[in-house]
Amino acid sequence: MKKFAFTLSEALVTLAILGVLAAILIPVLDNIRPDKDKLTYKKALYSLQKALSSAMDSDVFPNTANSAAYWKDERIEPEAFCEAVAESLNVAGDVNCKIPSGSSSFVNPNFTTNDGIRFWGLEGKFTSDDRTIYADRALSQNEINTLETKRGRSADDLGLKIRVGYDGRVDTPDTDEFEFENGLIEMSLQATEGNLQ
């Protein structure tokens, strides 16, 4: 009976071929795998734009034609507005719009949607032409450490920033404040809205 065996040189050649294939395929597979931050940000932008549009058409704004003016002139109750936005999203769990202004955070969001995106920064007054609202997904400690390095911000300042105009416009202007976010989405939401659906 004949025994089958590999010589040392055959085993080394096989390992070398597998090593070359791995070196070629791993970067390709990394590029195919979707970037969780990019997906979260696109989804948050699109969801928030729809929710703001819906909220501006709700009873929170006394007159739809003057929605922007009411918001800018602070005639909107922030808590009612936050609740109107939450009502337009598929929220999982409690909605907390009674947080003292400016104290919601990644750990203490206004609400979390069914798809795991946390939103915060909606509880304060809209006192200027635009405002920053934050969104992010639940993150592991490893991801928090990585993002602190990538974004150059501490864990207290985590969150993907979304610029919201008093007229309901949602985008990511090209500013230093939005450097990380603009790296995720190179152009404004309005220019890419068709691609987000």
| Residues 114-137: tens digit of each pLDDT | 989 999 988 876 666 677 888 999
Q: pTM for the full model?
A: 0.72
How much is the mean pLDDT over the chain?
78
- Summarised one tens digit per residue, pLDDT across range 121-180 is 888 766 666 778 889 998 888 888 888 887 777 777 788 888 887 667 788 877 777 888
Question: Which CA distances in Å does 35 have to 31, 42, 146, 184?
Answer: 9, 11, 14, 9
Which pLDDT belongs to residue 124? 73
* CA–CA gap between residue 62 and residue 72 (Å, rounded): 13
What is d(CA 73, CA 100) in angstroms, rounded to the nearest whole number?
20
Q: How far apart are the first and last CA of the chain?
A: 65
Collect all residues with Cβ–Cβ distance below 8 Å to 8 and sequence separation of at least 6: none
- Percentage above 90 pLDDT, the chain: 11
Residue 87: is it exposed, middle or buried by C-beta count within 10 angstroms (0-12/13-18/19+)?
middle
